[in-house]
Structure 1
Amino acid sequence: MSYQLLALLLLPLAGALLLFGLKGKLGKQIALGVSVVQLLITLFMLQGFDSAPTVDSVLQHEINYPWSQFIKSTLHFGVDGMGMLLLLLTGILVPLIIYSSFNEKTSYRNSFYGLILLMQFGLVGVFTALDGLLFYIFWEVTLIPIWLIAGLWGQEDKRFEFTTKFFVYTFVGSLFMLGGFIYVYQYSASFALTDMYNADLNLSQQTVVFWFIFFAFAVKLPVFPFHTWQPDTYTFSPTQGTMLLSGIMLKMAIYGILRYLLPVTPEAVAGISGSIVLILAIIGVLHGALIALIQNDIKRLYTYSSFSHVGLMVAGIFASALLVLNGKFTTEGGEGALIQAFAHGFNIVGLFLCADILYKRFKTRDIRQMGGLARVAPKFAVLFMIVVLGSVGLPLTNGFIGEFILLKSIFDYSILGAIIAGITIILAAAYLFRAYGKAMFGEGDERVLSSASDVSSSEFIVLGVISVLVILFGVYPQPVLDLVGSSLKFIYQSMVS
């Protein structure tokens, strides 16, 4: 049994329960302390992690304990390179998200931080569960805290409308996934991941299972046309809720596609289903970028930017999967998607924090009413620019290598698809620099600027850490590539074995 992984699972749950029952003003310090300890445990696990194991033994830090013989499910957890990367992303972002809220004046703060830790508990479970039923349970665990965070601390006049839509979309999607898992269970020895991979399903059965499971992932990401819940939810949620949704939560679906969908339904992927998803993803890449171009609400602009970037990840994954199933073995699409998911987590959290800083200075999210902030906030101008450059995918920033690999993987399968996806990089530069230029160098209201300040200490630390990571992983991305390589070889080989 891995005691490090056990601690990683149980510590945020214990912290959440403590905060729910705690009275007083120490909630934020306790939450930050728990999340920092989580990061230290993750780094300790990473330090002892073998990034180049044999393909047949990619799992490390395993926990395997009998749970229910009746339904043939076990408490089986473990970490491979893919899971380790997403645990690292979660471990870094959660304390940054918590610390970014230290100057916020919110009610029921202990419950707010308790829900963030409960969310972290669910995320760790999702990224380490090796049993289909267990994966579903943790998938649902993450929904409750983010729904409450969005609903209780979101924008007052939009609270009921957008939280109801968000909950219905994601809950229904989850039920479809459960239905798909149960169907596979009927043809496998248990809910164990390896047994689900070996389930004896024909093409028509795999196709049904594919769409049931994919629907849950498509909603969570989201993939076009299942994205209509996203703009309002991201826009009207509190900043920390938006960060959790965009920075970490959507990565659950990227992980789920690679871990469950592709190896369980390879024949469906090779058929028309995989091609349909590839087309939908490329449509989403372009659709999101074009809508972002015309947005004046800076939060909505970044929401559609995230939607566009996610479409590129999905397109890369399926392009490589189709190449593998057509006889050309490659893991580039999966590598690019995971690297981009890692980079996107930091970049989008940074962008939404910058949007919150702008809102606090200008009292509006409309970029047409902003301008001139660089004159009075030079530190913010520099940090904001670094985050924007990472999001654009400038060489030597963290967003470059993932986008490059993804476009190459799409190009190897479809030149037209790569051209369409590539256009969005130009569009991304257009809408991101447009927003930055208006806010930082536009003609601003002198009365507003006279009372505006540069970043606070907490804002500076969070943006500073993100900026360092944008440059660090842009200059030296190889450790991330090394980390996920063996896992992806196992995943793609499972599709053809």
Structure 2
Amino acid sequence: MSYLLLAFLLLPLVGSAVVFAWKNPASKFLALGFAFAQMFLTLFMLSELDFKPTVDGVLQYEINYPWSQFIRSNLHFGIDGMSMLMLLLTNVLTPLIILSSFNEKPGYRNTFYGLILLMQFGLVGIFTALDGLLFYIFWEITLIPIWLIAGIWGQENKKIQFTTRFFVYTFVGSLFMLVGLIYVYSNSASFALTDLYNAQLNASEQTVVFWFIFFAFAVKFPIFPFHSWQADTYTYSPTQGTMLLSGIMLKMAVYGLLRYLLPITPDPILGISGQIVLVLAIVGIVHGALIAIVQNDSKRILAYSSLSHVGLMVAGIIASAILTMKGVVSTQGGEGALIQSLAHGINIVGLFYCADILYKRFKTRDIRQMGGLAKVAPKFAIVFMILVLGSVGLPLTNGFVGEFILIKSVFDYNILAAVVAGLTLIFSAVYMFRFYGKAMFGEGDERVLASAEDLSGVEFSVLATLAGFVILFGVFPQPIIEMVSSSVRFIYAAMLN
């Protein structure tokens, strides 16, 4: 098992190095081959996992090798249900993101695809690391490739300005997290996750550490008011960069909040800190949705919709954590956030690709200058609508189950908070159907529509696959719930120890 996990960790890194070295236009096929190999390895490892509850959170694949006795840190990696869900999201979306670029001709192709695989390596490391120092190292590894992808292949003249803002925000947040982790480490036996959980911190120390580490996650989600970098970065990054940022990278913070922050610093959750985070999350839900409603740029609509959706994930996690600390053990928030992470990743990657397709057809991102595409692109109209329905949480789509569980978790804590958070269901329908209606219906420019084509083979392959996942996980959500439930119970139980 340990050798299999080692291969799983190293395959994207090896693939990245090979693609970097192979300066050939066909490097995209090589990158796609490595990405598919990683996906199939993920599915094989998934088939071997047993999600029955155990005291250690169902950790079945594990590597634990001492590499620095001086700083008491091990090369400790492992997989349980929660990390497997994130790995599944990462390694299924990565080949689709690579495939989505096949109709384009990015400069320095081998570098572009090598950076995507390097990004995949960092993400795999984050979702398998069981050592605080390793978690931080891989967190930083993911920052470099996405910054270069956004900065080099962005679509606007101001791309450097906005991607640099993203880099500064994220890097500063990472430094705060490092300081917080070092302080916990100084009061524990080692950087091992279990030792960090058992660190001897009083309530005041936990509060300081909580906000240091939470700041890094708040920027990455992002949640209000740490979101000012998001819309511009999503808008001016290349489509594949935006897919990586919105579909996978923000899930690093969801994972980190559950895996690290809550069990390490549980006491602040019961005090004013937990209340502040919950309020910020709910404000972000409404704030992001209201801004999305009045936006006319297709990518900015999706950027602010992502801000709104992630606010609900954070609200659910914190609401369940507060209830747990009060003695009413609740895991719904964590389960709902993980399920919604999968759904949101699928939906937002598909929707950003739809926005890219619209831009290529209409030569603009302004939805007021679109219209009528459904008449000439019926296949696109169908798959686009399925993704929209998933995003608004229609029953029997992947977005419904997670949103329902999250709202229920907030409801169990506070009815008024649940009512406000539940507005996301109404608001998301408003801005997504407005987006869809403006683009696909109406008169439209006949000259543009005359030359517009339906989906190419590549475009249809990517969108149809994602639309299939929207329906599959909406009709059959139980396997996903069973995958994460034991791990989430372990996390919330660790808060009480």
Shift of 1:298: 0.5
Q: Are the aligned partners of 2:374 and 2:380 in contact in 1 as well (CA < 8 Å)?
A: yes
Within-5 A mapping of 1:145-160: 145-160=145-160
**What's the counterpart of residue 36 of structure 2?**
36
Within-5 A mapping of 1:33-432: 33-432=33-432
Shift of 1:469: 0.5
Instruction: State the alpha-carbon separation in 2 of the partners of residues 185 and 442 from structure 1.
Output: 60
The CA deviation string for residues 247-298 of structure 1, in whole angstroms up to 9 with x for no partner, is 0000000000000000000011111111110010000000000000000001
Amino acid at match of 1:426: I
Q: Are the aligned partners of 2:246 and 2:348 in contact in 1 as well (CA < 8 Å)?
A: yes
Shift of 1:53: 3.4
Shift of 1:408: 0.3
Amino acid at match of 1:319: A
Aligned residue pairs, count: 497
Q: Are the aligned partners of 2:337 and 2:402 in contact in 1 as well (CA < 8 Å)?
A: yes
Amino acid at match of 2:250: L
Q: Are the aligned partners of 2:397 and 2:473 in contact in 1 as well (CA < 8 Å)?
A: yes
Shift of 1:57: 4.8
TM-score, with structure 1 as normaliser: 0.99
Q: Are the aligned partners of 1:153 and 1:237 in contact in 2 as well (CA < 8 Å)?
A: yes
* Stretches of 4+ aligned residues off by more than 3 angstroms: none
The CA deviation string for residues 38-96 of structure 1, in whole angstroms up to 9 with x for no partner, is 00100000000001131335211101111100000000000010000000011110000
The CA deviation string for residues 415-440 of structure 1, in whole angstroms up to 9 with x for no partner, is 11110011121010010000101110
Shift of 1:21: 1.5
The CA deviation string for residues 22-47 of structure 1, in whole angstroms up to 9 with x for no partner, is 12122100100000000010000000
Q: Which consecutive residues of structure 2, in runs of 5 or more, have no partner in the other structure?
A: none
Instruction: State the alpha-carbon separation in 2 of the partners of residues 172 and 5 from structure 1.
Output: 31
Q: Are the aligned partners of 1:132 and 1:192 in contact in 2 as well (CA < 8 Å)?
A: yes
Instruction: State the alpha-carbon separation in 1 of the partners of residues 31 and 23 from structure 2.
Output: 14
Instruction: State the alpha-carbon separation in 2 of the partners of residues 316 and 362 from structure 1.
Output: 39
Worse overlay, 336-345 or 151-160: 151-160
Instruction: State the alpha-carbon separation in 2 of the partners of residues 91 and 475 from structure 1.
Output: 22
The CA deviation string for residues 139-162 of structure 1, in whole angstroms up to 9 with x for no partner, is 000000000000000024112210
Instruction: State the alpha-carbon separation in 1 of the partners of residues 85 and 408 from structure 2.
Output: 22
Q: Are the aligned partners of 1:55 and 1:489 in contact in 2 as well (CA < 8 Å)?
A: no
Q: Are the aligned partners of 1:163 and 1:233 in contact in 2 as well (CA < 8 Å)?
A: yes
The CA deviation string for residues 183-229 of structure 1, in whole angstroms up to 9 with x for no partner, is 00110000000000000000100000000000000000001100000
Worse overlay, 23-32 or 366-375: 23-32
TM-score, with structure 2 as normaliser: 0.99
SS of the counterpart of 1:349? helix
Instruction: State the alpha-carbon separation in 1 of the partners of residues 3 and 471 from structure 2.
Output: 33
Instruction: State the alpha-carbon separation in 2 of the partners of residues 51 and 199 from structure 1.
Output: 28
SS of the counterpart of 1:217? helix
Amino acid at match of 2:214: F
Worse overlay, 137-146 or 8-17: 8-17
Q: Are the aligned partners of 2:57 and 2:80 in contact in 1 as well (CA < 8 Å)?
A: no
Instruction: State the alpha-carbon separation in 1 of the partners of residues 119 and 200 from structure 2.
Output: 35
CA RMSD of aligned residues (A): 0.7
SS of the counterpart of 1:105? coil
- CA 1:57–1:386 in 2, change beyond 3 Å: closer, same or farther? closer
Q: Are the aligned partners of 1:55 and 1:486 in contact in 2 as well (CA < 8 Å)?
A: no
Q: Which consecutive residues of structure 1, in runs of 5 or more, have no partner in the other structure?
A: none
Q: Are the aligned partners of 1:162 and 1:233 in contact in 2 as well (CA < 8 Å)?
A: yes
**What's the counterpart of residue 481 of structure 1?**
481
Q: Are the aligned partners of 2:63 and 2:78 in contact in 1 as well (CA < 8 Å)?
A: yes
1:433 aligns with 2:433: yes
Q: Are the aligned partners of 1:218 and 1:253 in contact in 2 as well (CA < 8 Å)?
A: yes
